[in-house]
A and B are shown apart, each in its own frame.
Chain A
């Protein structure tokens, strides 16, 4: 179907999906801690907006609940918790050094191409209006992984992890109009528990190695030789 023949709501879904993907790239490029957390919150908000648009277009009212849960958890609660943690650990103004920033962004663009290629067979099988955004959701997952790989600070890795979860949730919404409610609630609480555990983990880590740099966990000694 031609893009111009879609209704404005369908086009809006595509637009918000694209902007969600864009926030993933912004997270990749953002090396400061506080803006990184805000961008993550924006991604959660966009995800919730896209989900409720899908709910409206596909006439699946239960998706409104998913949208509400994901907005509450991923746009408000978890970013707030992360922000509070980073303030308490006094790292919210820290700038992380990222090696080869432009190269990472280009690799991200390559990942988008790859996920498009991977999604082609799925797209051909699907009959949903939102099928074209499946590639975007896979790309969000892969970009979250790239964020985890390229960062050393534990807190940005957690954001990468949460961003992967965002991508998975998005994939579920656009490819099958959402998972069963039980599964979704389970995942939501898992993520919440994970966020709380990560918080505890941060404090443990800082208490034992005096840094949030996960590379230092590889060393066996506390003192450099």
Chain B
């Protein structure tokens, strides 16, 4: 019973802290670009503001358009529940299969793309088409990374994989280096960050994710934006806990959980700084260059798998 309570609590923590991470990233970015930074709590204020506003629906909106925010938010929360944040081996991790995780993310993307086309505006359709192109290229990379991990840990269970990396101690695996780099590039593409998409702009010609959700307002928009923030955090936690799992709680004692919470907070803050540095250094690329970017990510994950076969299992 306490295990279930902890699992629910952890998911709640995940969902509630995602805007804080977004605020942190925004703040670091402002500092790096010599701008005055907004408060860390600004994303919460934005969300509250959006929840208070009325939702405006287009006349021709079907049930798909109306239900998409809830489906996306629900799928994202379920994904968040599977990812080990503070501790491994909580009750939800029986279903914490990585392929299920990829499936949930695909479900959310599918419905967002449908909703983008539902109203029939030009921007929505354009955004959906671009999003599906990026998705179709990013998903194989994600799966290849997952398979590299699964071949090493002999399981596709996230919790099991984290425990495997924990128990084998410090091992310099070439395959993990490539898989981590590939996963980072996919994370950048999937969460719509620079250089694939710019989350801070509504420039018509370049937007991808923003174009799909252009027609949303009020609580619908709040839910979708919140889900976007959770998705970013999911990728961060995946990178942090799979490749650098040290500090995560393996036993459910208060002391271990506290250490786990501090460890993950530190790792996420650090990853945020890495992302901001990357975004500040890189320029947004043309949409037609994105396949090349993701092709390189695919190559990285493929190299991860190849080096696993060649270097780590042979002999």
Chain A residues within 8 Å of B, Cβ to Cβ: 1, 3-4, 8, 11-12, 14-15, 17-19, 21-22, 25, 29, 101-102, 105-106, 108-109, 112-113, 116, 120, 123, 131-133, 135-136
A sample of 24 cross-chain residue pairs with beta-carbon separation below 8 angstroms, ordered by A number, consists of: A1-B315, A8-B172, A12-B172, A14-B174, A15-B172, A15-B173, A15-B174, A17-B174, A18-B311, A19-B174, A21-B303, A21-B307, A22-B178, A29-B296, A101-B292, A102-B292, A105-B296, A106-B299, A109-B299, A109-B306, A116-B306, A132-B312, A132-B314, A132-B315
CA distance A133 to B174 in the complex (A): 12
Q: A8-B172, A19-B177, A29-B296 are in contact. Are A109 and B302 (CB under 8 A)?
A: yes
Of A3, A123, A135, chain B has the most CB atoms within 10 Å of the CB of A3
Measured between beta carbons, the chain A residues less than 8 angstroms from B291 are 102
Q: How far is the CB of B144 from chain A (nearest CB, A)?
A: 11
Q: How far is the CB of B198 from chain A (nearest CB, A)?
A: 24
Of B168, B170, B172, chain A has the most CB atoms within 10 Å of the CB of B172
Can you list, as one digit per residue, whether each of B272-315 has a CB less than 8 Å from chain A (1) or not (0)? 00000000000000000001100110010011001101111111
Chain A CB within 8 A of B171 CB: yes
Measured between beta carbons, the chain A residues less than 8 angstroms from B299 are 25, 29, 105-106, 108-109
Measured between beta carbons, the chain B residues less than 8 angstroms from A15 are 172-174, 177
Please give me the residue from chain A that is nearest to B170 by CB atom: A8
Residue in A17, A102, A113 whose CB lies within 8 Å of B311: A17
Pair A113/B306 contact, Cβ less than 8 Å: yes
Q: How far is the CB of B184 from chain A (nearest CB, A)?
A: 15
CA distance A12 to B171 in the complex (A): 9
CA distance A116 to B307 in the complex (A): 10
Chain B residues within 8 Å of A, Cβ to Cβ: 168-175, 177-178, 291-292, 295-296, 299, 302-303, 306-307, 309-315
Q: How far is the CB of B225 from chain A (nearest CB, A)?
A: 33
Pair A131/B174 contact, Cβ less than 8 Å: no
Pair B171/A11 contact, Cβ less than 8 Å: yes
Q: How far is the CB of A112 from chain B (nearest CB, A)?
A: 5
Pair A133/B306 contact, Cβ less than 8 Å: no
Residue in A4, A105, A132 whose CB lies within 8 Å of B310: A132
Measured between beta carbons, the chain B residues less than 8 angstroms from A133 are 311
CA distance A127 to B311 in the complex (A): 15
A sample of 15 more A-B contacts (CB under 8 A), given A1-B315, A18-B177, A105-B296, is: A3-B173, A8-B172, A11-B172, A14-B174, A14-B312, A17-B174, A21-B303, A22-B178, A106-B299, A109-B299, A109-B306, A112-B310, A131-B314, A132-B312, A136-B307
Pair B170/A112 contact, Cβ less than 8 Å: no
CA distance A112 to B302 in the complex (A): 10
Q: How far is the CB of B282 from chain A (nearest CB, A)?
A: 15
CA distance A19 to B295 in the complex (A): 18
Please give me the residue from chain A that is nearest to B303 by CB atom: A22
Q: A132-B315, A133-B311 are in contact. Are A105 and B174 (CB under 8 A)?
A: no
Q: Please name the 6 residue pairs, one residue from A and one from B, whose CB atoms are nearest each other, closest first.
A: A18-B174, A11-B172, A102-B295, A3-B312, A18-B307, A14-B311
Please give me the residue from chain B that is nearest to A108 by CB atom: B299
Measured between beta carbons, the chain B residues less than 8 angstroms from A29 are 296, 299
Q: How far is the CB of A223 from chain B (nearest CB, A)?
A: 36
Residue in B175, B306, B312 whose CB lies within 8 Å of A112: B306
Please give me the residue from chain A that is nearest to B181 by CB atom: A22
CA distance A85 to B146 in the complex (A): 44
Measured between beta carbons, the chain A residues less than 8 angstroms from B307 are 14, 18, 21, 136
Q: How far is the CB of B152 from chain A (nearest CB, A)?
A: 9
CA distance A101 to B292 in the complex (A): 8
Pair A135/B296 contact, Cβ less than 8 Å: no
Measured between beta carbons, the chain A residues less than 8 angstroms from B312 are 3, 14, 132
Q: How far is the CB of A181 from chain B (nearest CB, A)?
A: 29
Q: How far is the CB of B48 from chain A (nearest CB, A)?
A: 45
Measured between beta carbons, the chain A residues less than 8 angstroms from B311 are 3, 14, 17-18, 132-133, 136
Measured between beta carbons, the chain B residues less than 8 angstroms from A113 are 306
Pair A116/B309 contact, Cβ less than 8 Å: yes
Pair B314/A123 contact, Cβ less than 8 Å: yes
Measured between beta carbons, the chain B residues less than 8 angstroms from A109 are 299, 302-303, 306
CA distance A137 to B136 in the complex (A): 33
Please give me the residue from chain B that is nearest to A105 by CB atom: B299
Please give me the residue from chain B that is nearest to A120 by CB atom: B314
